[in-house]
Structure 1
Amino acid sequence: MTRRILLITNCEYGQANVVLALAYELATRPDVQVAIASFAPLEKRVAHIQNELRDTGFDSADVSFYLLPGRGHIAAVGMTRLDTPHGPGVKEALHSFRYAPSMLLPWTESEYRDQLQTIENIVQKFQPDIVGVEWFLRAGQDACKKLGVKLFVITPNSSKDLVSFRQSASLWKLPALSSGFDYPLPWSKVPSNVYINLQLIAGIKMSPMVKKANKLRRVYNKSEKPILFDPRVQYLCPSTPDLDFPLSIPSNITLCGPLVMPTAPIELVDPSLATWLDQAPTILVNLGSHVTFDSSAIHELVGGFRMLLKHHPTIQILWKLLPEGDVQDTFEECAEMDQNIHGRLRVVQWLHSEPFAVLQHPNVICSVHHGGANSFFEAVSAGVPHVILPVWYDTYDYATRAEWLGIGIWGSRRSAPKAESSEFGQALLRVAGLSLEAEGFRAKAKRLAESCKTRYTGRVLAADEVLKML
């Protein structure tokens, strides 16, 4: 008998990737049909999954796409605001919380109603046996609860983001969101940490946006369940006990390990890049599609690259960057100033291969990223150390986590949310150099990746858990 599974997700890479990985794995299982409901930008990626399935001998018709109305999550939040990036510390954390409610519920009331009605229609048409909803898409959870269909939630984030506020010890033991505090938390930071956490909780509870949404939800499904965590629902999380801060994990959370898509070999997808990667140890720089740069930021980053390349003439750098306008002019100026950069710093607007495929190349020795959950877990799964340049919210958590785990360095501790060339360059030298410290980072990263392959198998474990729920 065919089992029908509906997955509802936002369209942004950092949120949708875990859902797409699960969808692919489920579609490879016998007698399973998967439907993915999302906003328009994700339709092309679903088509790509269909092609991947067909190329590997599976039925591409086992994955279908349904369109959700309106704007995706990041478009609704307005992440292009210049004041969204923030530094670490108490003052900056509290400043960042002005946008926390909109991160959770960014849509207007009419947009939210349209989503609810559309999801109801999709459920009635597809008739799923179970529905999986990406954590940030609240309308999916609300619609499923009203309809009484079997529901689970899948999140791209760590278990800390799900349950820390339900465990009082977390208020003073774990670094508060946006704080950038170290772990273990120094005693001197405990009062500030508690204060930040309480301000965040109060801000969300008292937010007019959240109150309005809860009123709508009470009318819609006679329910006002917790926004962040529902103890009656099963959650799938890409973390593992080895990757997160110490927490008591409730029985309704399954730690799956990094949820990543299988990737085609680079030599098949992008032969020229494969040839280039084969020639030398390489650093991948991928700072996320929502992080923007100006000419000053380019100068600082290139200055850090220059420090590394001067000391290590065999290393090369692959940088995913959209060089346009002033950014292009600044980059060309920097490249002309230093022959160490010429030919050893390759800038691409787009990676034809998935970033995870690049990370898996044996010559990739370091991942420079902004600390997004997806970037962190992909590098972990590939066994590659990190240099993290955090810019907001939980990206500071992942920078702290990488240092605590001994698999990387926060490369902008003194300068975040920007980077400063000397500090960044020193971080690159420590992680990607030839020192004993760098060898330690690589060894620990490889050990964590091995545990993901053998025990916490990511999309495979997640698919197994979903099928057990049927």
Structure 2
Amino acid sequence: MLNKAFKYAFAISGVLGTLIGILSTWLTAQTLTVPPIQQTQGKKGTVLFFINEEYGLTNVHLDTAQALLEHHPSVTIHVASFPEATKRGIGNLARAMPIFALPWSAEDHLNIYHAAMQVLLRVDPAVVVLDTYMTPAIDATRQANYVHTIIESNSMIHAFYLAQPYWSMFWKYPMLGTGFTYPVPWRQIPENIYVTARLVYSFLFDPHAREKRKYLQEHGIANPASYNLHRPDVPWFTRTMFDAGVRPEVVPANVTGVGPIILGVAPAIEQDLELVEWLSKTRTVLVNLGTLFTHNEERATVMAEALEILLLEHTKVQVLWKLQKCTDFPDDFARSLKEYGDRIRITEWLAADPLALLETGHIVASANHGGSSCFHEAIAAGVPQIIIPFWTDLYDFARTAEDSDIGVFATKDTAPQWTVEGLSEAFLRVVHGKESSRMRKNTRRLSAIAKKNRGRYVTAREIAKLAGST
């Protein structure tokens, strides 16, 4: 029996080894240095932003545009976007990965490409600022050969796995969506190798993506939706803060981690005076799971029960919970919370910007979904986090928060499913006790570092230089 099992294991490892060899050869080819290309520079002092419609991905661009307006008034800014500029599982992730680069149909991609090309020729910018997810605009910018830069909303390592030496993307760096610690523990290396190989394989051999690329090439786009966006002559900025995240062993010379790129907002007291007065009563936990997340009745019930445990255990804590329902279910899930009176507020929307609320100093914990914006806003404000992830990169930010000792990865053993025990334990750990004190200290230290060189001003300064306005 053991001999048979050994043969199966040996066969599987052989196939996997062959696959890794093929993938590694391709990865090595992808990371070869591309010689700089002479780029076209249009009207001096003119900056064109191409952004997607999802605010969580593009707020770094809007934040940078605001910083340009504040500190570089000679720059003329144009923003091109759409009219509405606004299950954890390796199988699901593998199927989704090609979609990240080619989310549109081939025809729609081509139409957006032509629209972007028209904008480029009409505006004739000195520099184009690109969103990594807006692939048709990237294709147009590179086809027209304009000077450009990239602002990445997520972690640096996500974009530069391929640049790391010794094939370490397989065995050292946790692959996107795994939530593994860094470096990957020995026992989880085989799984990380499998996940990495499968994701890269899906990129290379997804038939729909290949068909789309073939169509786009036949219609005149030289290298459509390239998986390797990095070029040595194109400045690249990320929110990465090495004191709170994975530090890649190799960072290309033109790539800069500027830390949190955060939009300057009016003080909360100017946005919602009554809410700030309520916050000032006592220590507050903010539960805000992002703009896209909606609760079903089951999740709302689990969250309500976990918050009840928190309120029962800590009588000097109150809760502000932003709850958006996905369907019109009754409010029975919150019945037991009524006895806590004004110590808990449940609202469908926040009148004040979440960052402004964090900056009041009254929020002791930010319970969020682990989106890049929420993660970096909490760091900038010096607030520990309870991260409740439910897809891809959210698991990585949850793990980063825990590894950096600035928060807790809630429901770690059951994500994306919630349990009362998993949520309540996370709330209690962050709000009170030895861990809580340490997390507050660490987060405040990171906040002080971030405030010395604010990421949006650093990025805006470099873009202004590229535009020839300084």
TM-score normalised by L of structure 1: 0.85
Kept in 1, the 8 Å contact 2:110–2:216? The answer is no
How far did residue 185 of structure 1 move?
1.8
1:36 to 79, 86, 91: 79
Q: Does 1:243 align with 2:244?
A: yes
User: In the alignment, residue 242 of structure 1 is paired with which amino acid?
Assistant: D
Change (3 A) 1:340 1:164: farther
For 2:326 and 2:231, locate their aligned partners in 1 and report how far apart those are by CA, in whole Å.
Answer: 47
SS in 2 for 1:40: coil
Kept in 2, the 8 Å contact 1:165–1:171? The answer is no
How far did residue 337 of structure 1 move?
2.2
For 1:324 and 1:229, locate their aligned partners in 2 and report how far apart those are by CA, in whole Å.
Answer: 36
For 1:339 and 1:142, locate their aligned partners in 2 and report how far apart those are by CA, in whole Å.
Answer: 54
User: In the alignment, residue 223 of structure 2 is paired with which amino acid?
Assistant: S
1:278 to 277, 280, 285: 280
- Residues 397-436 of structure 1: matches in 2 within 5 Å? 397-433=396-432, 435-436=433-434
Could you say which residue in structure 2 is the equivalent of 1:336?
A: 335
How far did residue 246 of structure 1 move?
2.5
SS in 2 for 1:133: strand
Could you say which residue in structure 1 is the equivalent of 2:311?
A: 309
User: In the alignment, residue 64 of structure 2 is paired with which amino acid?
Assistant: L
User: In the alignment, residue 157 of structure 1 is paired with which amino acid?
Assistant: N
Q: Does 1:108 align with 2:151?
A: no
Could you say which residue in structure 2 is the equivalent of 1:204?
A: 203
Kept in 1, the 8 Å contact 2:337–2:344? The answer is no
Could you say which residue in structure 2 is the equivalent of 1:132?
A: 129
Which shows bigger deviation, 18-27 or 238-247? 238-247
User: In the alignment, residue 236 of structure 2 is paired with which amino acid?
Assistant: Y
After superposition, the CA RMSD in angstroms is 1.8
- Residues 1-150 of structure 1: matches in 2 within 5 Å? 3-28=45-70, 29-42=72-85, 85-86=87-88, 92-150=89-147
**Whose Rg is larger?**
2
Structure 2 residues without counterparts, runs of 5 or longer: 1-42
Kept in 2, the 8 Å contact 1:10–1:16? The answer is yes
Q: Does 1:231 align with 2:226?
A: no
Kept in 1, the 8 Å contact 2:296–2:326? The answer is no
Kept in 2, the 8 Å contact 1:281–1:314? The answer is yes
User: In the alignment, residue 84 of structure 2 is paired with which amino acid?
Assistant: P
- Residue deviations 1:320-340 (CA, integer Å, cap 9, x gap): 22247554x1xx324332445
Could you say which residue in structure 2 is the equivalent of 1:255?
A: 257
User: In the alignment, residue 280 of structure 1 is paired with which amino acid?
Assistant: T
How far did residue 41 of structure 1 move?
1.5
How far did residue 314 of structure 1 move?
1.4
Change (3 A) 1:243 1:179: same
Q: Does 1:460 align with 2:457?
A: yes
Structure 1 residues without counterparts, runs of 5 or longer: 46-84, 87-91
- Residue deviations 1:136-165 (CA, integer Å, cap 9, x gap): 101111101111111111111110111013
- Residues 163-202 of structure 1: matches in 2 within 5 Å? 163-167=160-164, 168-202=167-201
* Number of residue pairs the alignment of both structures matches: 419
How far did residue 216 of structure 1 move?
4.1
SS in 1 for 2:197: helix
For 1:228 and 1:9, locate their aligned partners in 2 and report how far apart those are by CA, in whole Å.
Answer: 19
For 1:326 and 1:120, locate their aligned partners in 2 and report how far apart those are by CA, in whole Å.
Answer: 43
Identity of aligned residues (%): 28
For 1:18 and 1:225, locate their aligned partners in 2 and report how far apart those are by CA, in whole Å.
Answer: 21
